[in-house]
Structure formats: C-alpha cells, structure tokens
Structure 1
Amino acid sequence: MPMHRLAAVATALTLAAGATAGCSGGTQPGPGGTRPGTGAQPGNAFAVVVGAHANSPHPALVSGAGSLIDAAVAGGSRASIVVSDGQPSLKGPVSLAASGNNAEARKKSTAALSSSFAAKVIAARATAPENDLLGAISLAARATSGGTGTRTLLVIDSGLQTVAPLRFQDPGVLGADPADVAESLASAHALPDLKGVTVLLSGIGDTAAPQEPLSTAQRANLVAIWTAVLQRAGAEVTVRDEPLSGAAADGLPAVTTVTLPVAQTFATIGTSPTTTVDLGQETVAFLPDQAVYRDPAAVQQTLKPLAEKIIAGHLLVSLTGATAGNSDGLALSRQRAEAVKQTLVGLGVDPATITCSGLGSKAPGHVPDTDASGHLLPGPAAQNRKVIVEARRA
C-alpha cells in the first residue's frame, strides 16, 4: 500500500481517539478505563493476523506496521493477535489504553504498550500444520466486533493458504481470476463478515524456503485475489508495498508447498513438423469475459520469443481460443485468439501466416470447472482459459 494511504489509516485512528477526548471534559476515568486527555476510545478495535508459519518469512514489523500499532495505542483500542496456521488461534484481547495522571506518565505508558504489543506479534508462532489465512481473518474480524469505533486488521502473511476452501496448491488456483475466487467463496458461504473493517495486507507473496519464490506476475495476482476476496466480504482493503524477507523460524509445523507453474519458454516451437503449446492464464491472462489482457506490456514481453521463433522458422500458426464454463463461448474464445494474433503481428509476424478459431468450452483437454450447483470452480476454470498455438513448418 502506498505510504500516504497507510498514514491516512493511522491518522483516522488517532483522530477518532481525539474526538472522544474532546467530549470527555474533566470527568474521572469511565468504565472503559478512559482518562481525560488520553485520547482513548474503548470502542476502537485492532487485530493483527500474523502468519508465523513455515514457508513464510518470520513476521517483522516494518515501519508501516509499527505506526499502526502506535495509532491503535493512541486510539485506546482493544487489541488481539491471531496466528494464521491450520487451526487459527486468538491471543487477547488486551487493552491498549494508556494510563497515567499526567502527560509524562501517559507518554511512558503509551510507549510501553506499543513496545509490549509489538513484541507479542514478533513472538507469535504457529502450533498447527498448514495455513488457514481466511479462517484467521474471520477469527480476527469476530474479535474486533461489538465496539462503536474503528475496526482495523493488519494481516502479515504470505497469502498462500493451503486448506479448504482456498487451496493455492491446487492446479490453476494461483493463476485464477480474482473475481472468480471471490465469487466462488461467496457462493459457498465461506466469507467472513468484514463490513466496516479496514484490512491492511503486508507480505502477500513473500515466501521462505522450501517454498519457491513467486514471480512478479504471480505475486501480483495473489495480491489481487486477496484484495477481491476481502472486498467481496465487505472490507476496505489497502496493500502495503514493504516486502518481508528472510527465513521462517525453526521448528514450525509443516506447510504444504505450492508448486508454481513452469514458465513457458517456447523451446519446442519449430523443432518438429508440428508443435503445440498452450498459452494459459499464467502466460496470457485476460480480463473477465473480455478479450483484453490484464497486463498488455507483460504479454507482449512474454510472446516476443514466440514471435521470433515463428519468424526465424517461417512457420504457419493456428491459434485456437478456449474458455471456461459450460457455455460454448465461441465468440469470446475466437476474440482472444485474435488478440494474441494482433500481439504477434505487432512483434513482426506476417499476419498472413496466422489463422484463428475459437472452440469455447469444447476445446481438447477441457476439465470440468463447475460444481453441482453450476458455480464456476476458479482453479479448473483457470486451466481451461487458454489460447492453443499450433505451429507448422511451411
């Protein structure tokens, strides 16, 4: 998340606290522990979801996260920590309302509360195998409910959930369309209620051995998936750009590694009379129900080696589009094949050497991608969305 947006969230927490202080006048501490002039608002709630598990860098409080804890203390929040492992557990809540009869005493109390809570976040450890981040976020949301002030979740995790209903180790899920994932979870009633909650994501896509590092495109799609899922659940979502690095802590329960798709190199093109490769979601990703690339510049860079092979080998190329779902999708699949053709032509391929067609959901290798209720399954759907390239020697 851009730092100015992170600062805005922290400022909002502090201003909410200040508004309460302005109404408190010279009264004695109330039932919630509020003292005059402290800026404490017992209604504020703050939770940190920390992925202190294997395959993810050991949690760290980079500058933005630390400022959020300071803001939570300034807001007198009740605060909790949820460890995102296979059986998410809640620690807290504890009160972050500063105490003291004068400004200096309250300043020392504030610093001590911030330091103590930050230390607890850093010291968190997984106790169960796997990673149920969605379950941890749901638990954290429940821990912040019931108040009258702000509700804020700071999520520090790799984002690679490994348990149902969102298993990134399943084929196609990492490259799935974010909107498909969000809608699938909503249809399965698997989303937490995050209305009125601000969620800040940190470390999404940052991994530690033995998990293989994600590519830039894979990390971007993972961030987009979590953003879409949490927004569909009703949250306001911001993403922090400060990466986490380093190793996981020793002795943690195992987390299943996510096998990353092999990057398409087009090494086989032109090596035999006829060669075929699939341009899947990981190579050529389109916007939902459109023949428009998610990232046109990335697609052009990816297809440049293919164009060079076609030109050097004087190859004839057939492009066949395929789509997800039960409907035929013939028009859309052909339009996507045409989009790939235009990219190749822009890279120097003779348009006369390329033919296009669309088979929709009837393409070879189509896998079932809807459940019994007709809802789209994001992983299989991602596998079915592709453009098949058949290259022949002239």
Structure 2
Amino acid sequence: MKRLFNAIKLLIIAAAVYFLTGCAGNSDDEVSKLATAMAVGSHSNADKMPVNSSTATEVMYQTCLSYGEITFIAIDGSPQVVYSTTIPDPGIDGLSAEKKDELAQEYVAQLQTVFNGITADTAEVNTLKAIQLGAQSLQSADSDTTDKILLIMDSGLSTEGYLCFQDGLLRADTEDIVEALSEAQAIPDLDGVDVRWAFCGETAYPQEPLSTAQKEKLREIWNEILVKAGAESVEFTNDFTTGIPVENCPGVSTVDADEEDIIVDISPAPEPIRIAVEPIQTVILDNASVQFVGDQAIFLDEIKAREEIRAVADQLLAHPDNRVYVIGTTASGDHDFCIRLSEARAQAVANVLMEFGVPEDQLIPRGLGCEDPWHIDDHDANGAWIEENAVQNRKVLIIDVDNTEDTSLL
C-alpha cells in the first residue's frame, strides 16, 4: 500500500511532549517556513533509497525546524502522493534553540518511518509525472511559505509517460526534447522552487550501469527541463547509494546502455517526441448522480456530488495526458439563460475536479444550454412539459478531446 497515514504517529504527539517539558533559555532566531516535496524512486532497477541520506536528512530537518509542509511522492509508472503533512508549531514563545533542535529531530525520525515505507505499486517509472505532482503540491503551499524545495531521489531513467528513455532519448538533442515537452504542455511549474536531485543516473540490476558520459547526458536533459520549468536553482548531489537493489516490486523495462550506441552522432536527428493518448470513455454526470438546485449552479447534495466527481478526478489524474471537455446541458428554456446556466454548472464541476488535484489546463469547460446534440424533446405534441425527459437533459458530460465519436457531434 502506498498510503502510509497509519504508518506514523501523529506528529502533534511529539509537540505535546514538549509542551510539558517547558523551555530553557531564549531563541529569537527566525527560520524561513519551508515547503518540501520529496519524490522517492523506490522501484525495480534501482538501489534502495538510504533513509539517512545526507541530502534527504538535511531537507527533512530544515522543514521540521521551520514548522513547514512536506509531501512524499512515490515514483513508479503511475506516481501518487502517499503522505502529506504540516509540521505542528508548539506555539511556545522563547523555546530554546536546543529544544527546537530536539523537537525537529523527533519529527525527522517519524518522517523517516514514512520514507522507509515508500515502494512502487505499478510497473515502469514516470519521473516527470512525479515531478509534476511535486510542483503542484509546492505551488499550493500556504501563502506564508517563503522557501520551496523539490527533492528528487531517483535514477531519472524514466520508462513511462512523456519521457521514455527506451526510445533513444540519451542520443537525442536536449533542446529538441525540451521543445517537444513544451509543445505537449508537459513542463511542470517550478517557479520559485529550489530543486535538488540525488542518485540521478544510479541504477541496479538488471539495468546496465550508465557510463560517466551517459550520466552527464541524463543530468543535462533533466537540468534543462527543470530550468525551463522555472526552477530557482538545480543541484545534483553526490549522495552514496545503499548498493542494495530494490526487491519484490513491479518490473521496470531496461534501457539500452550500449556505450557505442549512445555516443554515435545520429543523422538525421531522431523524430520529435510524440505522445500516443488513448481516449478515456465519456462520463455522464446525470441528475441522479450530480443534481443541481433548480435554475442554479449549486449542488443539491454537495457531499454526494463530490463523491461522484472524485471518481472522475481519480480517472483524470491516472490519465494526465488526456484533456477533456466538461460540458453542461440543460432542459428546454430561454436560450441565453440556458447557455449561462450550463456554463456555470460545467464550471462548478470543473472547480471540484481541480480541488481534487486535476490541473486546470486538463479541463475545457463549456455550456451548450438546451441545444446540445444529445437533447431529447421534453415537450409533448401539445407543448406540455415532460419532466422525465427534462431530467435526462440536465447533465454534465466529461468527454475526451480525442474521442472523435463524441466530439464530432459538438
């Protein structure tokens, strides 16, 4: 299981201990509040991540010392946030530097428990997706956060998603790779974020080791991507690996590391990166699942509506490359009013999807009013209202932009 909420005691327990111990001396040193995202690649073809890595320990310590926020992301074929918390501030004025240090060390020990429990759930490795998740968590940090750090602990030899190094990317021009990612709108938002990367290029059996030149090429590619993403700084650290391969995890494809193959100057240049996206099925949020107050864009039963929309969000988060239309439709009525109402309802659903983590640029809200291609007649031959038909016209549809069968009707 990736979710580790029960694997660690509540951090606030440690704070309570210090409430009771009192304080000695005074400390007026101000520490900038730090938001941290740690993307951990504990998967096949890599060594186990050392919990006492100097870089990881320092980042966790500084986050705890500043009572900041920290998020852990597991890197595999479908990366997910596995743990997120805000370090509780004891709220004691004049707490000594020694007490602050001891309390921070207690918090670090508990976070290391979380770290040790992170392991891959799905096959392959999608490092870029993990970075995107880390970027999202950092950009949504509290407004009083002054510093942001993204720590990546992974080989960087991605085999899934936009960057698949099995496709010969180590031989491709770095600028071409970055340009292709930009055109695909796959560059994460790391504005104001300091990035640190440990173990880039470090692999384990059955993946062949990369040569020094290949590691440098891999770092160059990732460095340029991170700089393009707006990172405040990028640092590749030289932490020592454990030398113990990760075991009992889903498989990861190997990348051809033939030295001669890698250093050959390919002419012509490799084809630009293309992303094949399989459309997801259309989802209909009808009146029975997501019902609105009459003539308004307010959920009649918000709890039930959010449960239904969460299922859609989970599907979209699992398919980050798929953009979708969020289309609102209404029963018959005044044309202009129905257009405005359907747009507002589509936006209401889109807003909840974004609350659940779906990126805004993955959603295209639209309102078609009462003139959508799926509209059924909700008046009989005498002009009388047919409520059972009208109910079917009140809905919000989630349609993949690449679903040509449905989008051709728009």
TM-score range, shorter chain: 0.5 to 0.7
User: Given residue 130 of structure 1, which amino acid in structure 2 is its aligned partner?
Assistant: E
How far 1:323 sits from its partner (Å)?
Answer: 4.3
- What secondary structure does 1:90 align onto? strand
User: Given residue 63 of structure 2, which amino acid in structure 1 is its aligned partner?
Assistant: A
User: Given residue 162 of structure 2, which amino acid in structure 1 is its aligned partner?
Assistant: P
Aligned match for 1:80, one of 58, 63, 71: 71
- Whole-angstrom distance in 1 between the partners of 2:194 and 2:274: 32
- Whole-angstrom distance in 1 between the partners of 2:252 and 2:125: 7
CA-based RMSD: 2.6
User: Given residue 178 of structure 1, which amino acid in structure 2 is its aligned partner?
Assistant: T
For the 8 Å contact 1:98–1:109, the answer to whether it is kept is no
User: Counterpart of 1:207?
Assistant: 203
- Whole-angstrom distance in 2 between the partners of 1:112 and 1:281: 46
The question of 1:250 aligning with 2:247 is answered: yes
Aligned match for 1:123, one of 117, 122, 127: 117
How far 1:106 sits from its partner (Å)?
Answer: 3.3
Spell out the pairing of 1:378-393 with structure 2 (5 A cutoff): none
- What secondary structure does 1:87 align onto? coil
Give the TM-score normalised by structure 2.
0.54
User: Counterpart of 2:154?
Assistant: 157
For the 8 Å contact 1:56–1:208, the answer to whether it is kept is yes
The question of 1:196 aligning with 2:186 is answered: no
- Whole-angstrom distance in 1 between the partners of 2:249 and 2:135: 25
User: Counterpart of 2:171?
Assistant: 175
Instruction: Label 1:281 to 1:131 Cα distance change in 2 as closer, same or farther (>3 A).
Output: closer
How far 1:164 sits from its partner (Å)?
Answer: 2.0
How far 1:196 sits from its partner (Å)?
Answer: 1.1
User: Counterpart of 2:42?
Assistant: 52
User: Counterpart of 1:94?
Assistant: 85
How far 1:51 sits from its partner (Å)?
Answer: 0.3
How far 1:227 sits from its partner (Å)?
Answer: 0.5
- What secondary structure does 2:155 align onto? coil
Instruction: Label 1:211 to 1:371 Cα distance change in 2 as closer, same or farther (>3 A).
Output: closer
User: Counterpart of 2:215?
Assistant: 219
- Whole-angstrom distance in 2 between the partners of 1:241 and 1:323: 35
Residue deviations 1:149-186 (CA, integer Å, cap 9, x gap): 2111100000011112110111x212222222111111
Spell out the pairing of 1:18-29 with structure 2 (5 A cutoff): none
Residue deviations 1:251-271 (CA, integer Å, cap 9, x gap): 11111111223x34xxxxxxx
For the 8 Å contact 2:38–2:73, the answer to whether it is kept is yes
User: Given residue 140 of structure 1, which amino acid in structure 2 is its aligned partner?
Assistant: G
- Whole-angstrom distance in 1 between the partners of 2:174 and 2:134: 23
- Whole-angstrom distance in 1 between the partners of 2:131 and 2:45: 19
- Whole-angstrom distance in 1 between the partners of 2:41 and 2:158: 10
Instruction: Label 1:133 to 1:95 Cα distance change in 2 as closer, same or farther (>3 A).
Output: same
Aligned match for 1:184, one of 180, 184, 196: 180
How far 1:57 sits from its partner (Å)?
Answer: 1.0
For the 8 Å contact 1:82–1:90, the answer to whether it is kept is yes
- Whole-angstrom distance in 2 between the partners of 1:52 and 1:165: 20
User: Given residue 282 of structure 1, which amino acid in structure 2 is its aligned partner?
Assistant: I
User: Counterpart of 1:282?
Assistant: 263
Unmatched tracts of structure 2, length 5 or more: 1-25, 276-410
Instruction: Label 1:150 to 1:369 Cα distance change in 2 as closer, same or farther (>3 A).
Output: closer
How far 1:248 sits from its partner (Å)?
Answer: 2.7
Spell out the pairing of 1:57-76 with structure 2 (5 A cutoff): 57-60=47-50, 61-76=52-67
- What secondary structure does 1:169 align onto? helix
Give the length in aligned residue pairs: 242
The question of 1:109 aligning with 2:103 is answered: yes
Instruction: Label 1:37 to 1:123 Cα distance change in 2 as closer, same or farther (>3 A).
Output: farther
Unmatched tracts of structure 1, length 5 or more: 1-34, 265-279, 286-321, 325-366, 373-394
For the 8 Å contact 2:180–2:273, the answer to whether it is kept is no
- Whole-angstrom distance in 1 between the partners of 2:274 and 2:126: 22
How far 1:98 sits from its partner (Å)?
Answer: 4.7
Give the TM-score normalised by structure 1.
0.56
The question of 1:241 aligning with 2:259 is answered: no
> Any runs of at least 4 consecutive aligned residues in structure 1 with deviations exceeding 6 A, and if so which?
none
How far 1:129 sits from its partner (Å)?
Answer: 1.0
- Whole-angstrom distance in 1 between the partners of 2:196 and 2:230: 14
User: Counterpart of 1:353?
Assistant: none
User: Given residue 109 of structure 2, which amino acid in structure 1 is its aligned partner?
Assistant: S
- Whole-angstrom distance in 2 between the partners of 1:371 and 1:124: 31
Spell out the pairing of 1:205-354 with structure 2 (5 A cutoff): 205-235=201-231, 236-261=233-258, 263-264=259-260, 282-283=263-264, 322-324=267-269
